[in-house]
Amino acid sequence: LMARSEAIAVSSTTSGEQRISLPSDFEGMLALSNLSVTVTGTGRQLDRWEAHRMDSSATPFGTPIAYATYSDYLELWPTPDSGYSLQLRYYAKQPEMIQSTATPRFDERWNPGWIYRTAALLELSRDNPQGAAVMQGQYLSYMGSIPTDRARQQMAKDGMSIRYQRNAE
């Protein structure tokens, strides 16, 4: 599998405003941290709540400790009583490839795979099932030969060494 692309967005709150717009390329949530409140040198991570826990009728003001994700925004709880700097870590969508010079935003090792798959779909659109089957076979063969991201991490050998130390007696 291809690892999803991660991105970071930094936003500021204003007093009394509890909604933060999500980036246009937002696909999924990783974490939301309040950089204005530090815990051991990093921002305090906010808890994710379900929407039904966010009682807007009795929302107090204070330092945000939780958020809920809605369609295109986050809602903070409690409502910020001041300006806070928030860092959003999220999965970013693959951008649309509109121009002929555009390139996909993933590791180059996947390029032959998506080319084979695209060729298979093009053959199907031209009503050529034999050509599509050949390209689909190429795709499956290539993708089966590529180690997954997890396998690649397990193959990493840097930092794995043992040093024998002799005692001089």
pLDDT value at position 18? 87
Question: d(Cα 79, Cα 13) in Å, to the nearest integer?
Answer: 10
Q: Which residues of the chain have pLDDT under 50?
A: 1-2
pLDDT exceeding 90 applies to what percent of the chain? 30
Q: SS3 breakdown of the chain: % helix, strand, coil, rounded to 5?
A: 30, 30, 40
CB 49 within 8 A of CB 59: no
Query: Closest Cα partner for 107 from 2, 28, 6?
Result: 2
For the chain, first and last CA: distance in Å? 54
Helix (H, G, I), strand (E, B) or coil at 6: strand
**Identity of residue 154:** Q
pLDDT value at position 96? 79
pTM of this structure: 0.60
